[in-house]
Amino acid sequence: MNPTCKKRLGAIRLETMKVVAQEEIAPAIFEIVLEGEMVEAMRAGQFLHLRVPDDAHLLRRPISISSIDKVNKQCHLIYRIEGAGTAVFSTLSQGDTLDVMGPQGNGFDLSDLDEQSQVLLVGGGIGVPPLLEVAKELHARGVKVVTVFGFANKDAVILETELAQYGQVFVTTDDGSYGIKGNVSVVINDLDNQFDAVYSCGAPGMMKYINQTFYDHPRAYLSLESRMACGMGACYACVLKVPESETVSQRVCEDGPVFRTGTVVL
Ligand SMILES: Cc1cc2nc3c(=O)[nH]c(=O)nc-3n(C[C@H](O)[C@H](O)[C@H](O)COP(=O)(O)OP(=O)(O)OC[C@H]3O[C@@H](n4cnc5c(N)ncnc54)[C@H](O)[C@@H]3O)c2cc1C
Ligand code: FES
């Protein structure tokens, strides 16, 4: 561990990570590979809080970990350019560095699943990346993985080939330009499998659908987004309400970003 590039603030880990590679994998969607000691601590479903490498943006930007390679101490992040911060990230190239806080959040619970188990992954748009590590780890344990992904159109489709290595993949597009026309519910409503666990990440509409469809499922998980400031549980900028409570709330950055269905108000 290099003490000059890493320090701990209580439980918060900061590190200057090295950019190993970056490429545009779809229009305005980039995959960046970072290297550093922090990778050892990463789990599927966690996120990194990235400082924008300029003087104009004070707030860090949260981006999910898409895949983890502990042997080479590398992780992949996939992000879409939304505004100024992500536009700056897209200019980085091999040899540059990023100031990273993380890994943040709870991550997906992948425990107690084996070759007898069957899981459903549901992703939408730029919510697909964190599910790649889930598929990789569960497939390695012999778990049967069924994936349903929804995108706006053919140009936005990402990670289909990568996910197909780990199980059956259904792709839907809103405009029917690729795969099955419609949203993920078109496929999911017709599946009669009994899933031991459901992992999902996507736009608010998709998360509401999964929350309702699997409301009472004991192991159905939503990875949620919220505007963040500190990203470490201190400022309460990212809270969600809990059903039937006016006083209790959950912080997406610290208590999430992964929540069981039925446990937060969407
Ligand atoms: C836990 C978590 C994981 C995420 N993972 C990914 C990912 O893997 N890939 C990806 O492309 N995007 C992801 N996002 C969304 C990503 O954080 C925003 O797209 C990004 O912060 C936009 O920054 P910007 O400066 O380009 O946009 P701007 O619109 O200029 O940002 C202005 C401010 O709003 C915040 N903001 C804007 N959009 C969002 C958003 N959707 N969620 C939270 N804060 C937002 C920014 O962080 C910034 O503080 C994730 C968000 C969260 C909360
Ligand atoms: S962003 Fe500060 S508590 Fe979540």
pLDDT in 10s for each residue of the chain, 266 residues: 444 334 444 567 999 999 999 999 999 999 999 999 999 999 999 999 999 999 899 999 999 999 999 999 999 999 999 999 999 999 999 999 999 999 999 999 999 999 999 999 999 999 999 999 999 999 999 999 999 999 999 999 999 999 999 999 999 999 999 999 999 999 999 998 899 999 999 999 999 999 999 999 999 999 999 999 999 999 999 999 999 888 899 999 999 999 999 999 99
Is the shortest distance between the CB of 230 and ligand 2 below 6 Å? yes
Distance CA 93, CA 20 (A): 7
Instruction: Tell how far the Cα of 197 is from the centroid of ligand 1, in angstroms.
Output: 27
**What was the pLDDT predicted at 193?**
80
Distance CA 17, CA 222 (A): 28
Closest ligand to the CA of 240: 2
Is the shortest distance between the CB of 26 and ligand 1 below 6 Å? no
Instruction: Tell how far the Cα of 91 is from the centroid of ligand 1, in angstroms.
Output: 17
229 CA closest ligand 2 atom index: 1
SS3 187: helix
pLDDT tens digits, 20-59: 999 999 999 999 999 999 999 999 999 999 999 998 999 9
* Ligand 1 atom 33: residue of nearest CA: 227
Mutate to test the pocket of ligand 2, among 224, 228, 249, 259 (most ligand atoms within 8 A of CB): 228
**What was the pLDDT predicted at 2?**
41
Edge-to-edge strand ranges of the sheet holding 180-181: 180-181, 167-173, 144-151, 118-124, 197-201, 220-223, 258-260
Instruction: Tell how far the Cα of 115 is from the centroid of ligand 2, in angstroms.
Output: 38
Is the shortest distance between the CB of 146 and ligand 1 below 6 Å? no
Instruction: Tell how far the Cα of 192 is from the centroid of ligand 1, in angstroms.
Output: 35
Mutate to test the pocket of ligand 1, among 82, 89, 222, 255 (most ligand atoms within 8 A of CB): 82
Is the shortest distance between the CB of 224 and ligand 2 below 6 Å? no
**What was the pLDDT predicted at 10?**
54
**What was the pLDDT predicted at 11?**
67
Is the shortest distance between the CB of 184 and ligand 2 below 6 Å? no
Instruction: Tell how far the Cα of 68 is from the centroid of ligand 1, in angstroms.
Output: 21
How far is the CA of 169 from the CAs of 16, 53, 147, 161, 203, in angstroms? Answer: 36, 37, 5, 9, 19
**What was the pLDDT predicted at 7?**
42
Mutate to test the pocket of ligand 2, among 47, 253, 259, 264 (most ligand atoms within 8 A of CB): 253
Is the shortest distance between the CB of 25 and ligand 1 below 6 Å? no
